[in-house]
Amino acid sequence: MIWWILSVGVFGSIGAGAAVGAALGIVGMIILQVYVGGATDLAVLAVQNTLGNFTLSALPMFIIMGEILVASGLSQRIYTALAPLFSRVPGRLLHTNIAVCTAFGSVSGSSVATAAAVCAVSYPELSKRGYDKSAILGSIAGASTLGLLIPPSLSLLLYGAWQEVSIGQLFLAGIVPGLVLSLLFMIYVVVASHRKAIVPLTEVARESDGNPLRHLVKLWPLVILAIGVLGTIYLGVATPTEAAGLGVILSILLGVSIGDLTVSKLAQALHRATVSISAIAFVLIGAVILGQSISILGLPRQVIELATGLGLGPYQMITFVALFYLILGCFFDGITLMLLSLPFLFPLVVSLGFDPVWFGVFVTIMIEIGLITPPIGMNLYVIAALTKREVSVEAIALAALPYWLILLFGAGLLVAFPSIALFLPRLVY
């Protein structure tokens, strides 16, 4: 009966048009009222404890930092610095999209912010040069998902704060998988450029002059941000929250000094960040209430006992988890899906012997796939809006399909070789 109420209540409410956070919270309150003797005050305490988590307070700071970087135009500087490096590589400036997404993701923490920043710079320039428009947007859609994996990552931060897993280890664990996926994306672009004319022939002459390495000096703002944010965390000098606050200050100083950040643009960035923070917080509150109710009833334990009774091995279960995220990723944005699923899946996966740090990276890759999966596919809609729908969402999704498959392959690699994610955390900690 409780499972029926849980599933029908949550998915029925969302299907009827209720906000996700409200649906999760209301169902959780009903369960506490009816099945736990009216213990709704436990929901209030759970929300208070979660929102008062010091580590979790880094989340809004990283969101603000990402919005400021987009508003200041620093992504243009990163783009012009990296573009000459690929003048002789098949695919040319399409590789720059991937490289810039990787670099920008290392300071923004957000996939959507990465997609917006790179698309605003790349699409007008590449389409003017005659690149295939679908190929441009497909590369941006696919590579921008790395903004959620390469540290500082909002999903890894939220995962670590909620499940009490080391943020430093999670950030380290995301580096190598992110770089591996970036390399696989570039390999695909090389192969695709040989198969069809996605790059104009004039690019051979236009991008091949001069020493490309001299342009890398333009990346010094990125280096400063990376040292200020990630370096202080890894060295143990600052907590994630303190490092995030430092990142906001540095992004403002850099935006004013070498970017085009103004008071008006800063206000707009803070407004956008506030909207994003509020949306995530609303879903988080609902998820915490629901998580508290199902935890008291022992539903996660029942899931573990059911999985044990079915005789599913660890790798069969992780395949089930992957399918779960692939299917529901079609209908929920990544952060919402993670908050909805972790109360059930985290104890199940950890009980089967999987490392919690590894699982955080695996979950992040799976929700990255959802970012370019219709009909939700947040990155697809962001890119389509920025290009004024010159290319349809459907066409962008089709162009991003190879990157979708590479992300899925990357998740498989992570299962087969966990050390891809765990090598750096075990080396440092």
The pLDDT value given to residue 18 = 64
The encoded tokens of residue 357 equal: 């740090």
Please check the confidence at residue 303 and state whether its pLDDT lies above 70. no
- pLDDT score, position 187: 95
Asked if 284 and 333 touch (Cβ cutoff 8 Å), the reply is no
pTM of the predicted model as reported, rounded to 2 decimal places: 0.83
Number of domains in the chain: 1
Least confident of 260-264, 317-321, 384-388: 384-388
Residues 425 and 169 sit within 8 Å (Cβ to Cβ): yes
- Convert the pLDDT of each residue in 49-73 to its tens digit: 777 777 777 878 888 888 888 888 8
Question: How confident is the prediction for the chain on average, in pLDDT?
Answer: 83
Segments in 298-377 forming alpha helices (H):
299-310, 314-328, 334-351, 356-370
| Average pLDDT, integer, range 383-409 | 90
pLDDT in tens, 96-116: 899 988 988 877 778 888 888
Is 226 domain-assigned? yes
206 versus 92: which is more confidently predicted? Answer: 92
Angle between helices 111-129 and 58-72 (to 10 degrees): 20
For residues 173 and 94, the model is more confident at: 173
351 or 176: whose pLDDT is higher?
Answer: 176
In a domain, 377, yes or no: yes
Kindly tell me if the per-residue pLDDT of 341 is higher than 60. Answer: yes
Q: Per the structure block, which two tokens stand in for 10?
A: 């949550």
Percent of the chain with pLDDT over 70: 88
> Cα–Cα distance between 328 and 200 in angstroms, integer?
39
Residue 15: inside a domain: no
> What share of residues in the chain are helix, strand, coil (percent, to 5)?
80, 0, 20
DSSP characters for 270-302? HHHHHHHHHHHHHHHHHHHHHHHHHHHHTHHHH
10 is a domain residue: no
Q: Predicted confidence band at 283 (pLDDT cuts at 50, 70, 90)?
A: confident
Query: What pLDDT sits at residue 378?
Result: 81
Structural domain includes residue 4: no
What domain range is 190 assigned to? Answer: 25-428
- DSSP summary character for residue 259: S
Which of 87-91, 280-284, 350-354 is predicted most confidently? 350-354
Q: Does any domain span residue 1?
A: no
With a pLDDT cut of 90, the percent of the chain lying above it is 26
Looking at residue 205, its pLDDT comes to 46
In a domain, 167, yes or no: yes
Q: Is residue 165 part of a domain?
A: yes
Neighbour-count burial for 60-84, b at 16+ CB within 10 Å, e otherwise: bbbbbbbbbbbbbbbbbbbbebbbb
Residue 207's pLDDT is: 47
Burial class of residue 267, CB neighbours in 10 A (0-12, 13-18, 19+): exposed
CA-CA distance, 261 to 267, in Å (whole number)?
Answer: 10
